[in-house]
Amino acid sequence: MQSVIVQPGDPARNFSLKDQNDKTFDLYEQAKKRTLLSFHPLAWTDFCAAQMKSLEDNLDEFGRLNCVPVGI
């Protein structure tokens, strides 16, 4: 099977993940909202920690934009 490179704006396949509170996040449950997937592969670094903090600090603005930020 050949890999397909996902492009901005492409529809995403559904996935489910447990969050830090053991609650399940399901992408398709967000179907009526925009979803920002923010990947942090080196989450223990200061840089990634700052990115996650930025998502948290801007939750109100994301809400106004009908957007759900998801840090992975």
What pTM was computed for the model?
0.71
Phi-psi region at 3: left, alpha or beta (left = phi > 0; alpha = psi -120 to 50):
beta
Per-residue pLDDT tens over the stretch 8-48:
888 888 999 988 889 999 999 988 899 888 887 776 788 88
Residue 61: CA count within 13 A, CB half-sphere: 6
In Å, how far are 18, 20, 26, 44, 58 from 23, measured between CA atoms?
5, 7, 10, 22, 21
Cα 40 to its chain centre, rounded Å, is 10
Parallel, antiparallel, or unpaired for β 67-71 and 24-26? unpaired
Where are the domains positioned within the chain? 33-72
